[in-house]
């Protein structure tokens, strides 16, 4: 991360320190949630559905089908429950599913899954 100063305001990555953030020693984090748009949520749901169908009908073979199915289910449930994918368990599930997809030769699908969950910038 880079740090620079501008008129008494210190910028460090996504943090702003200084008067604009509320005064001496005040801090605020500026940025946007990568999952805030409905389009990303819709795309993630569609991709997970496509992956589930491909695994179920045998077009895509993964080493541990049960674990991959569990990860895809967790992704779906988290997105459906919150309307926005969050962090933590969802991201770990996406990482595991992407690793299984990569090991099965479906690298573009794995990359797309990681991009949609904000773990890889496309």
Work out how many domains the chain is built from and give that number.
2
**In the prediction, which pLDDT does 82 show?**
56
Asked whether residue 12 falls in the same domain as residue 57, the answer is no
* 121, part of any domain: no
Asked whether residue 27 falls in the same domain as residue 48, the answer is no
- Helical ranges in the chain per DSSP H: 38-56, 65-82, 89-103, 107-116
Token pair 């605020």 is found at 28
* 87, part of any domain: yes
* Range of the structural domain that residue 19 is part of: 1-31
39 φ, ψ (degrees, to nearest 5): -60, -45
**In the prediction, which pLDDT does 26 show?**
52
Q: Is the model's pLDDT at 67 over the cut of 70?
A: yes
The partner residues of 10 in beta bridges, in order of sequence, read 5, 17
Q: Tens digit of pLDDT for each residue in 72-116?
A: 776 776 666 555 555 566 677 778 888 877 777 777 777 877 777
Q: Tens digit of pLDDT for each residue in 33-55?
A: 544 456 666 777 787 788 778 77
Q: Is the model's pLDDT at 14 over the cut of 60?
A: no
Asked whether residue 94 falls in the same domain as residue 47, the answer is yes
**In the prediction, which pLDDT does 48 show?**
79
Asked whether residue 15 falls in the same domain as residue 47, the answer is no
* 73, part of any domain: yes
Asked whether residue 1 falls in the same domain as residue 16, the answer is yes
**In the prediction, which pLDDT does 66 show?**
74
């Amino acid at each position: 991360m880079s740090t620079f100063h501008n008129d008494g305001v210190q910028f460090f990555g996504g943090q702003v320190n200084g008067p604009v953030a509320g005064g001496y020693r005040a801090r605020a984090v500026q940025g946007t949630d990568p999952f805030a748009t409905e389009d990303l949520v819709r795309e993630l749901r569609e991709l997970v559905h496509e992956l589930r169908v491909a695994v179920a009908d045998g077009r895509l073979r993964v080493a541990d089908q049960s674990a991959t199915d569990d990860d895809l289910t967790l992704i779906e449930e988290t997105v459906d429950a919150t309307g926005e994918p969050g962090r933590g368990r969802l991201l770990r599930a996406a990482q595991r599913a992407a690793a299984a997809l990569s090991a099965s030769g479906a690298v573009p699908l794995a990359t797309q899954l990681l991009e949609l969950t904000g773990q890889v910038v496309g």
